[in-house]
Amino acid sequence: MNSGPAICLGPPVLAGAARIDRFTRAGVWGTQSLPAIFYRHADARGDVLALADCGAGAAHDERELSYAEVDRAVRHLAARFEDCGLKPGDIVAVQLPPVVEAPVAMLACLGLGFIVCTLPMSWRRMEIEAALIQIGARAIVTWSDGAGCDRAMTACAAAFGASSIRYVFAFGACDVDGVTPLRLDTGEEAPRVPRAEFPLPVDANALALISWDMTAPEAPRALARSHNECVGAGMATVLAAALGDGATILSPYPLCGLAGIATGFAPWLMTGGLLCLHRPFDPDRWRRQVTVYEPDLVPLPAALAVALALALSDAAGPPVLALVHEAGVAPPPPPAPRDGARARTIEVLCLGDTALIARPSGGAGGSPGSAVPLGTIRAAGENGLELLEVRCGTAAAGDAAGPRALMVAGAAVPSAILTPASRNAGLRPAGNAEGFVATGHFVRPAAEDGSVCVVAGNRETVRVGAAAVALGELDGLYASCTGVADAAAIARADPVMGARLVAAVVAEPGARPDIADIHRQLRVLGAAEFKLPERLLQIDFVPRDEAGQVARDDIAAQL
């Protein structure tokens, strides 16, 4: 048992002493790392159910793991990683669906002092390779089920272009050359790291998790959080939903990105309950999980909540619904179960991957669901903890009366950022001199007293289904295709998909690119499917303003 003072074995601590003292005194941050929090519960709960999922594929049954079984699986996996020579401070990328292997792999990595970089499930070779190079990852853990695009093969192809990668690990059925297979081993006889030596005594303020924010104008930016900052994200959900010890959470979210961490992984660790994961969406298995596990909290994409929440009326007690949506997108009305009694709902308002606000549905103080309160945001209650501070920054250059940058500081806001330009210098602080971090959103005041603002929209970032992408990134991607001299991406609003993409292209002399050829080339490049345009528009030139920015409205007028 590691009971001594925490030390930083590898991951750096970038939060300043004043910030650490502030949130520690407030009771938001503590002294235990995420694996240490897990073992605080595991040592006491043993055979109590800890993890469940709806199966690893069509041919697999639902799986359940007790705390004791998760402990054995985590320490067995940790032994595999140690045998491969990975060291504290190494960055390990993880791209796993919402299955029990995901939290097990993350706990094994974090318990050895690794920094975990979660990769969105929608990413393919191009995006994965760019991320691995940017962060200098030493290994990647992925999934192989032999269905469709095999992720193990994709990870191998991406790792080939990333010189820092030493190992590609994969769960599931996998016989790909160059891939080290992993399995979930909960047996008593499996080799594992001794409990007395695990988890390592890592500082709770050391960097733990890297996720990707899609609001950057040209490419995703890597945001790095400490163990305590992950706890801060989970605390917002735990307090808003009033979750008690031993809470059951049913989540369809992969454990990548702030939404999955803040509404699933972190609350599970904090409450010592059951995390039930669902690979979206199998209606029969969804209803079965609702009926069998009777969840206390169900986070759902707000746009799908009405359809998916019907099954929740089968539960003995209505759970709290957490309606997750991006700032600037008003959520639909909270769904009502079939018996007419409205379930209690909370709103989880995401500010990119930089921060989130968990609050009663409808916004604070009766503000609309797309509004963002300014000032200090506290948890409910007379002595509510200070969770987030929101302010307006500067306006865009040359537009003093225009929308202003939305800035945040708080217990869940990342300490560090890693950009390609800063890689050689390592991770750098994410905030400005006052500790405020830009969210990538721009806002306008919506109340006379300045207490509320509304997101004016980031017109250079669009959401295609569940994925977000910068239009500037797509400009360069489309222009890289053979036969295209210049290109611009145009987004057309769609009530279901969020946006549908159009590639406006200037053909090279003598070339006649078509949509099928563009799709073929982008797939050869390894681009994610959500980046493929649905329509091609031939134009004579790409209009740009004096600052060199694409005049997208002028192109859209030609559609």
pLDDT digits (tens, 9 = 90+) for 215-238: 776 678 899 999 999 999 999 999
Higher pLDDT, 250 or 469: 250
Question: Is residue 207 predicted with pLDDT exceeding 90?
Answer: yes
Instruction: Answer whether 196's CB lies under 8 Å from 3's CB.
Output: no
Average pLDDT over residues 67-83: 97
d(CA 265, CA 267): 6
Rama region for 485: left / alpha / beta (φ>0; ψ in -120 to 50; rest): alpha
Enclosing H/E stretch for 83: helix 67-83
| Residues 6+ positions from 448 with CB-CB distance below 8 Å | none
- Which two structure tokens, joined as six digits, stand for 335? 């769904």
Mapped onto helix, strand or coil, the DSSP state of residue 231 is helix
Question: Is residue 73 predicted with pLDDT exceeding 70?
Answer: yes
Higher pLDDT, 131 or 395: 131
d(CA 283, CA 358): 27
d(CA 325, CA 259): 9
* Dihedral pair phi/psi, residue 298, rounded to 5°: -130, 100
Question: What is the predicted pLDDT for the residue at 519?
Answer: 97
Question: What is the predicted pLDDT for the residue at 419?
Answer: 66
**Alpha carbon distances (Å) from 384 to 100, 267, 357, 377:** 33, 18, 14, 9
Average pLDDT over residues 527-555: 93
Give the count of alpha carbons within 13 A of 383, CB side only. 3
pTM summary value: 0.89
User: Could you tell me how many helices (H) and strands (E) the chain has, helices first?
Assistant: 14, 28
- Which two structure tokens, joined as six digits, stand for 524? 């050869």
d(CA 189, CA 163): 36
Pick the CATH number of 461-556 from 3.40.630.10, 3.40.640.10, 3.30.300.30, 1.10.4030.10: 3.30.300.30
- ω before 114 within 30° of 0 (cis)? no
d(CA 488, CA 502): 8
Burial category of 102 from C-beta neighbours within 10 Å (exposed 0-12, middle 13-18, buried 19 and up)? buried
| Residues 6+ positions from 487 with CB-CB distance below 8 Å | 475, 478, 479, 481, 503, 504, 505, 506, 542
Percent above pLDDT 70 for the chain:
85
Radius of gyration of the chain (CA): 23
Nearest CA among 109, 312, 307 for reference residue 193:
109
d(CA 312, CA 338): 9
pLDDT digits (tens, 9 = 90+) for 141-172: 998 875 545 788 899 999 999 989 999 999 98
Question: Is residue 70 predicted with pLDDT exceeding 50?
Answer: yes
pLDDT digits (tens, 9 = 90+) for 391-442: 988 776 656 677 888 999 999 999 998 866 444 446 788 888 888 999 888 8
Question: What is the predicted pLDDT for the residue at 55?
Answer: 74
Percent above pLDDT 90 for the chain:
57
Q: Where is average pLDDT lowest: 372-381, 505-514, 543-552?
A: 372-381
d(CA 535, CA 516): 10
Mapped onto helix, strand or coil, the DSSP state of residue 76 is helix
Average pLDDT, the chain: 86
**Alpha carbon distances (Å) from 419 to 27, 222, 292:** 32, 7, 44
pLDDT digits (tens, 9 = 90+) for 492-505: 988 767 789 999 99
